[in-house]
Structure 1
Amino acid sequence: MVDKDHIDNPDVIVVGTGNAAFCAAHAATERGARVLMLDKAPAEAAGGNTFFTAGAIRTTYGGVEELAELIDDGDTQLPHADIAPYGPDDFIADMRRVTQGHCDPELTRTMAQDIAGTIRWMREHGIRFRLQYERQSHQVQGRHRFFGNLPLATVDGGKGLVAQHRSAAERSGVVIRYSTEVDRILTGPDGRVTGVASGTTEFRAPSVVLASGGFQANSLLRAQYLGPNWDLAKVRGTPYNTGQALQAALDLGAAPAGHWSGCHAVAWDADAPQTGDFELTNRYTKQSYPYSIVVNAQGHRFLDEGADLRNYTYAKYGAEILRQPGARAWQIFDARTAPLLGKAEYEAPGVSRIQADSIAELAEQAGINPAGLEHTVKEYNAATATGTFDPSRKDGLSTTGLQPPKSNWAQPLDKPPYLAFAVTCGITFTFGGLQIDTDAHVLDTEGAAIPGLFAAGETVGGLFAHNYPGGSGLSAGAVFGRRAGASAAALALDTHTGGR
């Protein structure tokens, strides 16, 4: 039964129903606040971009024993897992490296230092975790060797995370109103936020948390901020993150922050729908490319497939694919590398898979220039060197004299049958957003907090630029969602006469 007082007289309004939004709601309710969540999407399409993730969340830990405390009992593979420690300083260093130093130092430090405690807090609220052996480890001498510092994920991926969050919110009395697009932020004569509006309908509350994502599903804004051809990119997540609430905050005087011409974009199946698929969700991504060569329609390579572990390159290579003719590329594997393909991604229904017994035949079937691909493969094979191939680490097995190089995992491509997977650019989220402080207050253009306005998740700018360490989006959403909810509740309850 819906609590009418939560709708008519909430203490905190949370805009969105993704991971950041729910973390804000949990933090506010546990402090005694009445919470109303508003989502542009209908109930059957709720969950924001969170719904479409694989559920990987970057956290810090001292080793396997510490991670074992977070996961469900019954993990029989755990005694055979090798996971190197990953501390806050490591997280911060990864953020600085992949963003080319353009991550807000205070927000980055807060995320890295808080995430482990926030994960435990999420678990107390019913969020379940597992180790993602199939996506983040390789078997080496009978051991599961994890790579890329991203072993932890939520049970049942993004779908499971949203369902578990929703159950927790329902247990604590949170009310969710769907099909409600927030297009204005309401303020009083003194400039304090007093609620939000959806068309002619107003919702009043002394605190508002914006956690409704960026503008990646708005083709006009993509073209405006990201540049040419970005309006043609496929949207791998929710079609409802079109930037209205973000724009409403900017109209109010909120300060923009971060890399507005940058985004998270991946190699995405070329035959995927234009926006996210609610059944297959993340399975259209193609992340085994470090063990392939990636070519365009002319058959030419155009990026270093082995520049780093895939967790540190996958979010920037979608943009490289978009720059190619037809915004299309192909990942090429042979019988030697085919066993390394992630089954969830490369065996998904309808995947754009082509198989042939020769490179020329593969090119003909795929629509790649045959002469160009044959020349590329011949040149690539000649540039590879002998050495020990190890997919679980940067093995240094690189090409010689090749441009672009392949810095790791460079093996000859010479064992048929050959496989080609057509990929395009799939945009995940935009990097530009609102400026916040470490307690998630939205700041104005003078650097002062806008009273009553908070933000978290992909609505926030300043954390990511150029690139992104895998799994850190859910980390940022959880840490700053929790902080936003706590700050919003404290302000709202203090606003009421005598508190509550």
Structure 2
Amino acid sequence: MVDVLVIGGGNAALCAALMAREAGASVLLLEAAPREWRGGNSQHTRNLRCMHEAPQDVLTGAYPEEEFWQDLLKVTGGQTSEPLARLVIRESSRCRDWMRRHGVRFQPSLSGTLHLSRTNAFFMGGGKALVNAYYRSAERLGVQVRYGAPVDALELDGGRFVAARIAGERIEARACVLAAGGFESNREWLREAWGRNAEGEWPADNFLIRGTRFNRGVLLRHLIDAGADSIGDPSQSHCVAIDARAPLYDGGICTRVDCVSLGIMVNRDARRFYDEGEDFWPKRYAIWGRLVAQQPGQIGYSIIDAKAVGRFMPPVFPGAKADTLPELARQLGLDEQRLVDTIDGYNAACRVGRFDHTVLDDCHTEGLAPAKTHWARPIDTAPFFGYALRPGITFTYLGLKVDARAAVHFGGQPSANLFVAGEMMAGNVLGKGYTAGVGMSIGTAFGRIAGTSAAAAALQEVAHAAA
């Protein structure tokens, strides 16, 4: 019998496996994906949001606990557990030396990500390199890894973990860490969560999945059905507006279109529907997927002009390009006159001061609903560009309720030997909204906590048996 069983293969699972092994426990990690697709959504990440009191190697300035907390409070609208959120924040300040010991390397933020140079530490080689480093370290330390091993059920005794089942095979362990992701690639569950809209559409049918196809929520559903305490709204997620031509799965970061704040967003009726200049892009980019999901046909269009070119990370796919707005409308399939009228109304409302996309500048609109509160400049310089965008789900926020030890709860009581980390519990911290890099902060913090807790539970059982 193994001491600690870790179910999952991404950042949180690997952090748990490494911590448990370092604590002296024997560890088996079960990854549902084949080896070439290992790592879950973590393979698509690129940075970690970090609290720090002074400049640190790749991090500039200071990013104290209270500022991190206020940033999180703002994006979640207060739908967060402050004790658990602050635990994540504090853990983010002391994990990077440990990460380096396991082969993770960091680099300064590059052009296009300079807004994050103070708050986020970037992984050299991105999330794939991080995942590979952790797997190499885990294998060196003697962690057993099985690929293509999706767990379909757990055997529980009350709230106590007994064994996991894989296609009839039974795997016992003294303690278990669940880190198998959300249910974003389960279309049926997404349909159930979102239902039909006023137009009779199933919005979820038009969602693209930015991350792995293997996160189907099988164990999440199983645990909830077994009486585990859950938290979060199943319709809430890290949901980004991504290029409508992106693949159904595993498009990752490169499918993002980051020019929204430099122009306007319209729906398929060629009408604006939200303030594009509400706040800095890293803090607000993740609201746009949900906003687009609420529009007819679950599609939106980002419109910019030549003045915006060079001020955002170039998209992988080139956008529609035209010398006139009617021509751009035709390319995008929008009503020509309505788009022209929308842009004329926006242009007339612009009050341009000193444009500066690196600060919350004074370029805004007046007498326009919805307003654009920053970076508002007329769209009047050819050529014009347009990008069709759809909701891209990264991970879902419905999860299992936890405490500071990462224990799964049943009827309000913490399990003695079943723990959870990563997307399966992120809803404790993220009730809604997102800010860049915080998913990795949650996964790293609670992965490390869960691994430590599981090892302690397992080794305590060994000690009792030997006494």
Please tell me whether residue 243 in structure 1 is matched to residue 212 in structure 2: no
Could you say what secondary structure the match of 1:341 adopts?
coil
Aligned to 2:10: 18
Match of 1:435 among 397, 401, 406: 401
Aligned to 1:216: 184
Please tell me whether residue 422 in structure 1 is matched to residue 399 in structure 2: no
Aligned to 2:31: 39
Please tell me whether residue 56 in structure 1 is matched to residue 22 in structure 2: no
**CA offset at residue 148 of structure 1?**
8.4
**CA offset at residue 51 of structure 1?**
1.1
Please tell me whether residue 119 in structure 1 is matched to residue 96 in structure 2: yes
Could you say what secondary structure the match of 2:451 adopts?
helix
**CA offset at residue 231 of structure 1?**
3.8
Could you say what secondary structure the match of 1:153 adopts?
strand
Match of 1:469 among 425, 429, 435: 435
Percent of aligned positions that are identical: 36
Determine the C-alpha separation between the residues in 2 that align with 1:15 and 1:449. Answer: 19
Aligned to 1:449: 414
**CA offset at residue 499 of structure 1?**
8.2
Determine the C-alpha separation between the residues in 2 that align with 1:218 and 1:235. Answer: 10
Please give the per-residue CA displacement for 1:329-367, whole angstroms capped at 9, x wherever unaligned. 111111111111303xx1x2xx15111111111111111
Aligned to 1:331: 302
Please give the per-residue CA displacement for 1:248-297, whole angstroms capped at 9, x wherever unaligned. 222332100123331110011101111114xxx32001123111211122
Aligned to 1:6: none
1:124-135 equivalences under 5 Å are 124-135=101-112
Q: What letter is aligned with 1:448? A: Q
Aligned to 1:194: 162
Match of 2:261 among 287, 290, 300: 290
Could you say what secondary structure the match of 1:411 adopts?
coil
Gaps of at least 5 residues in structure 1 are 1-8, 72-77, 138-145
Please tell me whether residue 167 in structure 1 is matched to residue 136 in structure 2: yes
Q: What letter is aligned with 1:434? A: L
Please tell me whether residue 207 in structure 1 is matched to residue 175 in structure 2: yes
For the 8 Å contact 1:102–1:465, the answer to whether it is kept is: yes
Determine the C-alpha separation between the residues in 1 that align with 2:138 and 2:195. Answer: 39
For the 8 Å contact 2:303–2:386, the answer to whether it is kept is: yes
For the 8 Å contact 2:159–2:409, the answer to whether it is kept is: no
Aligned to 2:153: 184
- C-alpha change, 1:211 and 1:191, in structure 2 (3 Å) is closer
Determine the C-alpha separation between the residues in 2 that align with 1:176 and 1:149. Answer: 36
Q: What letter is aligned with 2:375? A: W
**CA offset at residue 168 of structure 1?**
1.4
**CA offset at residue 130 of structure 1?**
1.5
1:203-352 equivalences under 5 Å are 203-228=171-196, 229-277=203-251, 281-343=252-314, 346=315, 348=316, 351=317
For the 8 Å contact 1:183–1:245, the answer to whether it is kept is: yes
For the 8 Å contact 2:108–2:117, the answer to whether it is kept is: no
For the 8 Å contact 1:148–1:311, the answer to whether it is kept is: no
TM-score by length of 2: 0.95
Deviates more, 1:328-337 or 1:190-199: 190-199
Determine the C-alpha separation between the residues in 2 that align with 1:206 and 1:94. Answer: 39
Q: What letter is aligned with 2:73? A: R
**CA offset at residue 419 of structure 1?**
0.9
**CA offset at residue 149 of structure 1?**
5.1
State the 4+ residue runs in structure 1 displaced beyond 6 angstroms.
none
Determine the C-alpha separation between the residues in 1 that align with 2:24 and 2:152. Answer: 28
Determine the C-alpha separation between the residues in 2 that align with 1:195 and 1:352. Answer: 50
Determine the C-alpha separation between the residues in 2 that align with 1:191 and 1:441. Answer: 10
Aligned to 2:126: 157
**CA offset at residue 147 of structure 1?**
5.0
Determine the C-alpha separation between the residues in 1 that align with 2:301 and 2:235. Answer: 26
For the 8 Å contact 2:186–2:216, the answer to whether it is kept is: yes
Q: What letter is aligned with 1:214? A: G
TM-score by length of 1: 0.88
Aligned to 1:85: 62
Q: What letter is aligned with 1:40? A: A
For the 8 Å contact 1:195–1:207, the answer to whether it is kept is: no
Aligned to 1:458: 423
Gaps of at least 5 residues in structure 2 are 197-202
**CA offset at residue 40 of structure 1?**
1.3
Could you say what secondary structure the match of 1:274 adopts?
coil
For the 8 Å contact 1:148–1:310, the answer to whether it is kept is: no
Determine the C-alpha separation between the residues in 2 that align with 1:115 and 1:436. Answer: 18
Please give the per-residue CA displacement for 1:28-74, whole angstroms capped at 9, x wherever unaligned. 01111111111111111111111122x121111234x32x1xx5xxx
- C-alpha change, 1:480 and 1:12, in structure 2 (3 Å) is same
**CA offset at residue 318 of structure 1?**
0.3
Match of 1:30 among 7, 22, 32: 22
Q: What letter is aligned with 1:157? A: G
Could you say what secondary structure the match of 1:496 adopts?
helix
Please give the per-residue CA displacement for 1:408-436, whole angstroms capped at 9, x wherever unaligned. 11111111111111111101111110001
Please tell me whether residue 105 in structure 1 is matched to residue 82 in structure 2: yes
For the 8 Å contact 1:331–1:423, the answer to whether it is kept is: yes
For the 8 Å contact 1:254–1:450, the answer to whether it is kept is: no
Q: What letter is aligned with 1:266? A: V
